[in-house]
Amino acid sequence: MARLGRVLREARETKGCSWHEIEEATGLWPEYVRALEGENYGKFTSVAHLRSSLRLYARYLGLNAKDVFALLEQTLAAETVRPRETPAASAGFQYSPVIVVLLASVVLLVLGFAGVYGYQWLRSARMPAIMPAVVGPGDTPRTPSTLPTPSPTPYLPISSTALPRYTITATLDYEGHHLDVQERIDYANRTEEILHEFVLNVFPNHEQGVFTLKSLSLEFGAGPVTTGHTLEGMTLRIPLPQELGPGEVATVFLDFALDLPFIDPAASFTMGSLGWSERAVDVGHWYPALAPLLPEEGWYTFSYHWVGDPYVMDEADYEIEIWAPDGITVVGGGSEERQGNIWRYGVSQARSFAFAASDQYVSHSTEIDGTTITSYYFPEHENAGVAVAQFAAEALQTFSDQFAVRYPYDAYRVAETEFAGGMEFSGLSFLGSLWYATYPGGVRSQLISLLAHEVSHQWWYGLVGNDQVSEPWLDESLATFSGLLFYKLRYPDDHAWAWEFEVFNWQPSGPTDGSIYDFSDQGSYMNATYRRGALFLADLRHAMGSQAFYSFLRDYCQSQSHTLSTADDFFLVLSNHTGQDLSALLEEYFTQGQGEGQS
């Protein structure tokens, strides 16, 4: 059988492309391309780094990914020197002391020349600050299948002012409830501070036996570097081997696996966002994500809590590729492209990327104002599934008009999953199967009321972000109020029913502005944060008058889009729309009276 290096070289020669053209299309430096063709795998910082570079180059050349990785495994098996590993990996190839001394002398000589000429060469070559590479699947998929040849996907380095970019490739073992994942995070330091570490929040690591980190490496400055890391609870810290100054860019490569836990059909909130059930897998908050970097505070980390939503996400761009077995339908957020078993998604300025998958999904789509809304549901719930698409389209249009900010994506998808709740992600919502099974038709139902709430999260969470751990009322009270507003504007005859069903029946109590850690059960959390929060907004509207109130709401949505908004921001925008003394109202609902300095 042909060697991998020769296959790559012959494909390049057939394509007739130059090193410069390869770099322009893929972002791969020529020395990495030469290392792939020369099978010089010691050039790469880890196996994950090698595979990600090979995946990108194979795509550019139009080669079959499965065949290429099969050749790589054969080549690695026959070689003594493998790609460098992180400090946690094995020591690898051993050299005699004499050879070590000789090698050290050569290295010192090379470094001397590099110090003189390297900087001028880098400037003249205008190399990017990182070596871009799309992360590829780490192993041949567990379920045998012939993968189609992926179309080339040009990769461009991020600029010094770009949002973080996540490039993730996942291989789904649906029956085994397992995922193998390669993740790449490109990060530009857009602050004025010098950074000494990266900190990632790793939500799936809150439960033992779910998350396994196989390898971690960095691309920094002129090339790959090794670094250590610590993972404690949900916090992954990666010390940087050198300072990352303002405008500089670095890349993190992670190779990890997920063994999905079982989801109890009665579970809600975080208990239903990641795991498997009898007819689906829910894959939400599943990858290590950069912690928000707060001015003068640093990286923001937090501990797991089973009440509420224990995660806070800055905006980022996502490029996702998921391999799924035959017969499995994948449902993710953003633009979607399918080639055989491969599902590709792209979404920009997003808070998160999630997906669901099932061997039973059927779907129904509709379109409104240029956005395609698709509902995925189990076959016996067709009436409910079709209704979800219809009412989701109405809610999207209602909120786009009312908040004067258009829904930001060309597609919105809703997936039926087997848990007792709803969960929001960018461009995607999960809805519990219980509400489909009990759907009576019409809008007077838990299904449609919950749907309106989840759709509104595309504004309150998606566009206007917030600290869902310390200030969850900022998105949940607005989402609850917006869901009720949907009834008022679209179905006024059912508006009173909606308030009774969602709020008054529960006789809610408690201060609205608690953190998730202030609550020990979901019921008291929802009463204070969701229902009392909606009552606060209704009373605020009554005090201000409808015109001033909705003007404030539009201003808040527009001015705080693409940020992590705070309670202080909320009340600052509010102060521009009313001169009334609201102290009595604020004292009624908030523990700190004027709503400032919320924890």
CATH number of the domain enclosing 232: 2.60.40.1730
Q: What pLDDT is attached to residue 592? A: 57
- Tell which residue, 453, 490, 500, 502, has the closest CA to residue 475: 453
Q: Which of 359, 385, 415 is the last residue of a domain?
A: 359
Looking at 94, 125, 149, the residue that finishes a domain is 94
- Domain membership flag for residue 351: yes
Total of domains in the chain: 3
Averaged over successive runs of 10 residues, the pLDDT of the chain (599 residues) comes to 84 90 73 88 70 79 84 76 39 37 41 37 30 33 38 54 94 97 95 96 96 93 79 97 92 96 85 93 98 94 94 96 97 96 96 98 96 98 98 98 96 96 96 96 98 98 97 98 98 98 96 96 96 98 97 98 97 95 94 45
Q: Return the CATH number at 54.
A: 1.10.260.40
Tokens of 468: 């869902």
Q: Is residue 458 part of a domain?
A: no
Q: How far apart are CA 464 and CA 315, in angstroms?
A: 10
Backbone angles phi, psi at 236, to 5 degrees: -110, 115
Pairing status of strand 298-299 against strand 289-290: unpaired
Q: What is the pLDDT of residue 48?
A: 60
For position 538, which CATH number holds? 1.10.390.10
Which residue has tokens 């590479």? 133
Q: Determine which helix (DSSP H) or strand (DSSP E) holds 440, and give its type and residue range.
A: none
Are 580 and 493 part of one and the same domain? yes
Note whether residue 127 is domain-resident: no
> Domain residues for 43?
4-94
Q: Contact at 8 Å (CB) between 501 and 509? A: no
Q: Please indicate, yes or no, whether residues 313 and 169 belong to a single structural domain of this protein.
A: yes
Say yes or no: 241 and 345 in one domain: yes
520: tokens are 């020990």
Q: Are residues 205 and 296 in the same domain?
A: yes
Output the pLDDT for position 256. Answer: 97
Last residue of a domain, one of 343, 359, 375: 359
For the record, the structure tokens of 265 come out as 């059909």
Question: Would you give the distance in Å from CA 337 to the centre of its chain?
Answer: 18
Look up residue 354 and give its two tokens.
Answer: 């999630």
Residue 27 pLDDT = 60
Give the whole-angstrom CA distance, residue 557 versus residue 475: 11
282 and 184 share a domain?
yes
The upper half-sphere exposure of residue 68, i.e. CA atoms within 13 Å in the direction of its Cβ, equals 31
Alpha-carbon gap, residue 492 to 488, rounded angstroms: 5
Tell me if 533 sits within 8 A of 476, measured CB to CB.
yes
Q: Distance between CA 286 and CA 354 in Å, rounded?
A: 8
Residues 200 and 336 in one domain: yes
pLDDT value at residue 79: 62
Note whether 172 and 89 are same-domain residues. no
Domain contains 572: yes
Terminal C-alpha separation, the chain: 63
Sign of CA dihedral 298, 300, 303, 307: positive
Residue 395 lies in a domain: no
- At how many degrees (to 10) do helices 19-26 and 30-37 cross? 110
Residue 219 shares a structural domain with residue 329:
yes
C-alpha 565 chain-centroid distance:
19
Residue 570 within a domain? yes
69 and 175 part of one domain: no
The residue count of the chain comes to 599
Residue 131 belongs to a domain: no
Whole-prediction pTM: 0.76
509-521 in b/e burial notation, b at 16+ Cβ within 10 A?
ebebbbbbebbee
d(CA 326, CA 329): 9
Q: Which residues contact 61 (CB under 8 A, 6 or more apart)?
A: 8, 11, 12, 15, 152
User: CB-side exposure of 295: number of CA atoms within 13 Å?
Assistant: 5
Sheet with 422-425: list strands edge to edge: 362-368, 371-377, 411-417, 428-432, 422-425
Residues 339 and 240 placed together within one structural domain of the fold:
yes
**Could you tell me if residue 265 is inside a domain?**
yes
Cα–Cα nearest to 313, from 96, 580, 564 = 564
Q: Residue 44: CA atoms inside 13 Å, Cβ hemisphere, count?
A: 27
Angstrom CA distances, 595 to 363, 530, 568, stand at 44, 17, 7
Q: Are residues 170 and 316 in the same domain?
A: yes
- Burial of 424 per CB tally in 10 Å (0-12, 13-18, 19+): buried
Contact 286, 203 (CB under 8 A): yes
In Å, how far are 280, 338, 547, 565 from 416, measured between CA atoms? 9, 21, 37, 30
Q: Are residues 176 and 78 in the same domain?
A: no
Q: CA-CA distance, 566 to 585, in Å (whole number)?
A: 19
